Structure 1
Amino acid sequence: MRYSDDIIEEVRMKNDIVDVVSQYVKLNRRGNTYFGLCPFHNEKTPSFSVTPSKQMYYCFGCGAGGNVYNFVMEYENYTFGEALQHLADRAGVQLPKIEYSREAKEKAEKRATLLEINKLAASYFYYQLRRENGSQAYAYLINRGVSEDTIKKFGLGYSDKYSDDLYKFLKSKNYSDDLLRESGLFNVDERHGMYDKFWNRVIFPIMDVNNRVIGFGGRVMGDGKPKYLNSPETKIFDKSRNLYGLNIARTTRKNYLILCEGYMDVISMHQAGFTNAVASLGTALTSGHASLLKRYTQEVLLLYDSDDAGVRAALRAIPILREAGITSRVVSLKPHKDPDEFIKALGGEEFEKRLERAMDSFMFRIHMAQKEFTMEEPQGQNRFFERCAQMLLELSDELERNLYIEAIVKDYRGYGISVEDLRKRVNTLALKGTPAEQRVQPKTTGAQPKKRDSASEKAQKLMLTWLVTYPGIFDTVVRYIQPSDFVVPLYRQVAEMLYQQHEDGDVNPARLMNAFIDSEEQREVSSLFNATIHLETPEEQNRAFSDAVLRIRDESLKEKNKTLDPADMKGLQELVKAKKDLEDLRRKRQQLHISFE
């Protein structure tokens, strides 16, 4: 069940967008608009704008935009319901109780209770680390160079040697065995009954992006097996859709995230100041991980161990990231095995240099492929360049492919290969046909080059921007254009809502956006209200306005012509008349006067 539109609008109106955004971004006023550095991508020149009159934000750099709800959803990674509750609390608005179905209510209550159990368990482990029984684990962390501040920041803890310690503690809080079993914190068998899953281990609480404890990792003290143990998947913990450290890394000002292997890698990097490090939770990188990363960055540095297993992990991760629309580079830590070892040996400054020298992931694949061939022999060289050509054919963009051809030739010119030689090999393979399953075709995502608006789309966007920025022009516009004239479905939907608001006497774009609770939809709708064109004189304004009106009408008639049933004589007559009216309007375009005042 959804809250009423009136409640949603009341909460929005009581949270001025400038005040809310100012809590996260330093804003400076320029005329009627505020500008700052965009929190959703890395930039040096402010392109992030907040417009009080529209109660909307928009970034001219990355396209992020929306009303105050969308800002909180994007920044805090909240659902719409969570953003509504957050803003209601901020404004002191009491949200009405929502009556859920019995099934939905039970599901929500169980999830909340499991989160509560995990939070209590994390507190208990944290407390145990500081007791005498936890001295070995505490010494282990200190000897690994983990500071007291870092222990607190990550909530590190210890599970005692007794295998029913946590169970007794949580039972004292009156939780049922059924719920404790579902928490993933306990094992059950006929001989022992229910007993702690984690015992005699350093504990690493795993948090989701909203800082809620959803699971645990444990590193054994001594020689027990397995060395590392993770919570099983539960109703609140999905290993393939969560990353260790992302709750902190998501707010980094860096324009990339670092993906490494384990808990200690993340912890040591954060302690050294590299707070954009994350790690997968005992599993290989999945498409779910890639989708999660995509929310926060366009680029990932892969920083796996420098052994063969680490190289294989990087090679598996590269195509998964590419398919999600994420650029990747690979960091070499040789001769050191992992980030923790490297930072202890050489320090943060040298580590930063290694990050800066990270290798392009495609070229990393090329260099790894080279190791499979005997490059001292002509036959080995020929097979290697054949492999290069196959890999180049995976790239669907011709410019990208040509750039990599030049990069490969630059690295391997000593073998007598030229740009023309390699390009011919690629073309020969292409003519033969490459099996479809060998080609990597990235999905269309936000990271792909944005499709340029057609002249028709630009005209429709400009008209919608003018209508919300200068509502006084509505009376002129409605004489020539109706919502049905906007041929892009989303634009038509927005136009219908704006025209209805005009009829009701209140053009309010921020309220209109309440209807779009999906972040991507809000981003797209926001772009409709922030189209720009440089106009200085009244003559330029009139010219731009008349061009937009004529183009919108023209595209509308073309669309109607495509869909008209040839047997619809009345519709055909109306279309002929509309075309004649448009021609008359073209001849009298000077009548299309407008004033953006």
Structure 2
Amino acid sequence: MVDLREFVDSVKDRIPIEVVVGRKVQLSTKSGRMWGLCPFHPEKTASFTVQPDSGRFHCFGCGKSGDVLNFLQESEGLSFIEALERLADEAGFEMPGFSGDRRDPKKSNRLKKAREALAAARVLYSQSLNEPAGAAARDYLLERSLSAEVLETFCVGWAPNEADWLVRALLGKGFSPEVLAEAGLSFNDSAGKPVDRFRERIMFPVLERGARTVGFGGRFLPGSWADENNRGKYINSPEGPLFPKRRILFGIHLLPDGLRDNAEAPIVVTEGYLDVMSLHQAGVKTCLAAQGTALTSDHARLLRRFDRKVVLLMDADEAGQRAAHKGARVLVEEGVACEIASLPDGRDPAAMVASKEEAELLQRIASAEDIIDWRLSSWFRKVGQLGPADKNRVAQEMAEWVNSAVSPVLADTWVRRVCDRLGIGEQAFNALCHSDSNSNPPAPVHHQSSVPESGNTLQRNEREIVAAILLDPSLLSRKRNLEALQGIQEGLTDAFAARLLAWCLESRAESEQSGLDEALASFSDPEISLWLSGLRDLPLEEPARAFVNALEALPQNRRQSIRNSEHPVDDDALRKLQREVQVSMRIGEKTPQQSTTNPAEQE
């Protein structure tokens, strides 16, 4: 087995960072550095710099920095291993097995082939749309006023009405039935024969950042067999490692370019494929849609990385308004600025664009309301003149919104706005806001944390614990540390921290290595891999100290996170265990404390 760090260094020595970055950024040399417009945020004056000698990039505007692998991960949505494979292939190196890499080689190869099959299917579906069999689909798309340009931009295609059209085509290209099933393109019929999952449907490829196909959505045509037999207007690729719906947003591969071209444009989140495509056609190049599901915390964390306001553009019916309400709450809780744009009754973005109402649609997006104003207006429309009991009901909901705000400035602004609209005193409303919270003040987000930025305080706290044991796996050799980690494992709220801690404990139980290098070699999820890659440059000299501080912070940060819950977590046993850990680890230690999310140290 080859040491991962040695192999990484060899590849980076062979492929200069300025060559890789130069494929996406026009660079010019000044004062010993290379400068260009940042590919990660919109700007008119170059603040993005590359230093060939050190092999690193840094943007003084948005703060993104790293080495050539980080650049590929950020710009193309690749995992660490995928970025390394890309560079190794370019450098003429064969990817070896790494110490600690416990991935199943057969499974890894099958997933790689499945991604290739998805890319091949996208091409075949697109070609089919322009053949005689796709005539009805072309007519329908023309009726929806979608231009040839936007159809090409989104790689729209057609799945013919043949049971195994795609299966036969892809088998002929050398893909196995198992790979097609892994890709979600086929399933076995009652006779055990592989058949197409999508049939007689307009096909919308779902691409992630880096324009890699991860799945498809298929819409039936009016009057088709699927329509007449009530088989669902839309079907999507099945949930799986290649198509995790809760993390996928349709149109995300086009978002960075849209944001870069318009520094003032918000991110517009709407409901469906046709809505996104129609909005693009109308000039809104920063629109997205969730994959047949409500907005999730994973979606919100992804959107937060773009540091841009989000406008929810949902249908005016009851279901659309519920989706807007729930989606806004998720965004607010993750610290994403959120507004609501209202649509006319019975209209959606696609219908408005088709009816040449683009100007009104754009005006409605530009006039989007802050979430608090939208909710207050909804109450006034619903109830009319508010009596004392009505004001109390409205104030209770508004208190929930205020308590969910990550920013104290935003919360204070909302308090004053609610009191003004409802005609109530700030003292009474503040009392309502704090009635369900405990006496401890909310733990502030510590922006100087030693761990890469990763969401709210509790999530970052949990990741600090994981980061410490990844950077110093010897922490797992102490019985009390293991007991502490096992004690907090079930209650972890951050999906990354939960998966990584489970992997660390499993590795320990199997006497396997569980350091950062091994984690990078074992996780292919791009988001986890990007976060792990950021730990490679973490200036954490005392992981043991960071581990202690993060454990100490956890009970209070948990209480603050669930202060509105009806079932608070009992931290007594955990607190006792953490005091024992603290004592055992601090014996003989005289080094300065590391930065932490411990609220007690921030007072």
TM-score (norm 2): 0.67
Q: Does the 8 Å contact 2:333/2:406 carry over to 1?
A: no
Equivalent of 1:247, from 253, 258, 264?
A: 253
| Structure 2 CA distance for aligned equivalents of residues 277 and 72 of structure 1 | 24
Structure-1 residue corresponding to 2:61: 61
Equivalent-residue separation in structure 1 for 2:370 and 2:446 (angstroms): 19
- The answer to whether structure 1 residue 434 and structure 2 residue 431 are counterparts is no
1:350 Cα offset (Å): 4.9
Q: Which residue of 1 aligns with 2:427?
A: 424
Give 1:23's aligned residue.
Answer: 23
Give the direction of change, closer, same or farther, for the CA distance of 1:45–1:521 in structure 2 (3 Å limit).
farther
In the TM superposition, residue 137 of structure 1 has moved relative to its aligned partner by: 0.6
Deviation at 1:261, TM superposition (A): 0.9
8 Å contact kept, 1:386–1:425: no
Residues of 1 paired with 2:165 and 2:468: CA distance? 60
Q: Secondary structure, in 3 states, of the residue corresponding to 1:302?
A: strand
User: Residues 119 and 99 of structure 1: is their aligned pair in 2 closer, same or farther, counting only changes over 3 Å?
Assistant: same
Alpha-carbon contact 1:65-1:527 (below 8 Å) kept: no
Identify if the C-alpha distance between structure 1 residues 401 and 10 changes in structure 2 by more than 3 Å, giving closer, same or farther. Answer: same
Displacement after TM superposition at 1:384 (Å):
2.8
Partner of 2:288: 278
- The residue number in structure 1 matching 2:513 is none
1:139, CA displacement in angstroms? 0.9
What SS class does the counterpart of residue 20 from structure 1 fall into? helix
Change (3 A) 1:400 1:325: closer
Structure 2 residue aligned with 1:260, among 261, 265, 270? 270
1:209 maps to 209
SS in 2 for 1:222: coil
Q: Distance in 1 between matches of 2:206 and 2:128?
A: 17
- 1:473-484 equivalences under 5 Å are none
* 1:198 pairs with 2:186: no
| 2:312 corresponds to which of 284, 293, 302 | 302
Residue 114 of structure 2: SS of its match in structure 1? helix
Amino acid at match of 1:233: E
Give the alignment of 1:308-457 within 5 angstroms: 308-334=318-344, 337-346=347-356, 348=358, 350-375=360-385, 377-395=387-405, 397-409=407-419, 412=421, 417=423, 421-430=424-433, 433-434=435-436, 450-451=447-448
Query: Taking structure 1 as reference, are residues 435 and 515 closer, same or farther at Cα in structure 2, changes over 3 Å only?
Result: closer
2:553 aligns to what? none
CA spacing shift, 1:394–1:146, aligned 2, 3 Å: closer
1:93 corresponds in structure 2 to 92
Does the residue aligned with 2:104 lie in a helix, a strand or coil?
Answer: helix
Partner of 1:554: none
Task: Give the aligned partner of residue 577 of structure 2.
Answer: none
- Give the superposition deviation at 1:263: 0.8
Q: How far apart, in 1, do the equivalents of 2:92 and 2:193 lie?
A: 48
Does the 8 A contact of 2:416 with 2:426 survive in 1? no
State the one-letter code of the partner of 1:427.
N
Q: CA 1:422–1:188 in structure 2 vs 1: closer, same or farther (change >3 Å)?
A: farther
Superposed CA offset, 1:50-91 (max 9, x none): 33443322233332112222222222222222222333455x
Contact 1:8 1:514 in 2 (8 A): no
Structure 2 CA distance for aligned equivalents of residues 112 and 522 of structure 1:
21
Rate the CA distance shift 1:180–1:38 in 2: closer, same or farther, 3 A: closer
1:88-167 mapped onto 2 (5 Å cutoff): 88-90=88-90, 92-98=91-97, 104-167=104-167
How far 1:243 moved relative to its partner? Answer: 1.7
Change (3 A) 1:116 1:88: closer
User: Secondary structure of 1:10's partner?
Assistant: helix
Look up the SS of the partner of 1:330 in the other structure.
strand
Q: Distance in 1 between matches of 2:519 and 2:144?
A: 49
Q: CA contact under 8 A between 2:114 and 2:183: conserved in structure 1?
A: yes
User: What is the letter of the counterpart of residue 423 of structure 1?
Assistant: E
Instruction: Give % identity.
Output: 29
Aligned letter for 1:286?
Answer: T
How far 1:181 sits from its partner (Å)?
4.0
**Deviation per residue, 1:82-140 (Å, 9 max, x gap):** 222333455x4333544898971110122123223333333332232222222111111
Change (3 A) 1:408 1:221: same
AA at the equivalent of 1:428? A
Please give the alpha-carbon distance, in whole angstroms, between the structure 2 residues aligned to 1:192 and 1:88: 40
Give the match's secondary structure for 1:341: helix
| One-letter code aligned to 2:80 | F
Unaligned runs of 5+ in 2: 451-466, 473-515, 521-528, 541-582, 591-603
Summarize deviations over 1:362-405 as a string: whole Å, max 9, x none. 33333334445442545434543454345434446543322112
* Corresponding letter in the other structure for 1:366: L
Distance 1:19 1:198, change over 3 A: closer
Structure-2 change in CA distance of 1:27 and 1:407 (3 Å): farther
Measure the CA separation in 2 of the matches of 1:328 and 1:334.
20
Report the alpha carbon displacement of residue 309 of structure 1 after superposing the two structures with TM: 1.3
What's the CA shift string for 1:404-438, capped at 9, x where partnerless? 1233355x2xx6x1xxx43122233256x2168xx
Equivalent-residue separation in structure 1 for 2:238 and 2:176 (angstroms): 19
Deviations 1:228-269 (A, max 9, x none): 111222442222222211122244314643221111111122
Seen in structure 2, the aligned counterparts of structure 1 residues 301 and 124 have a Cα distance that, compared at 3 Å, is same
Check conservation: 1:17, 1:55, Cα contact below 8 A: yes
Q: 1-side partners of 2:287 and 2:185: how far apart?
A: 27
Deviation at 1:179, TM superposition (A): 4.3
Q: Does 1:50 align with 2:50?
A: yes
Task: Say which SS state the counterpart of residue 25 (structure 1) adopts.
Answer: coil
| CA–CA distance in structure 1, aligned partners of residues 195 and 586 of structure 2 | 72
Q: Distance in 1 between matches of 2:86 and 2:287?
A: 27
In the superposition, relative to structure 1, how do residues 218 and 258 fare at CA in structure 2: closer, same or farther (>3 Å)?
Answer: same
Q: For residues 175 and 10 of structure 1, do their structure 2 counterparts lie closer, same or farther at Cα, with a shift above 3 Å needed?
A: closer
Contact map agreement 1:9 1:514 (CA 8 A) in 2:
no
Give the distance between the partners of 2:250 and 2:352, measured in 1 at CA: 20
Letter in 1 for 2:375: R
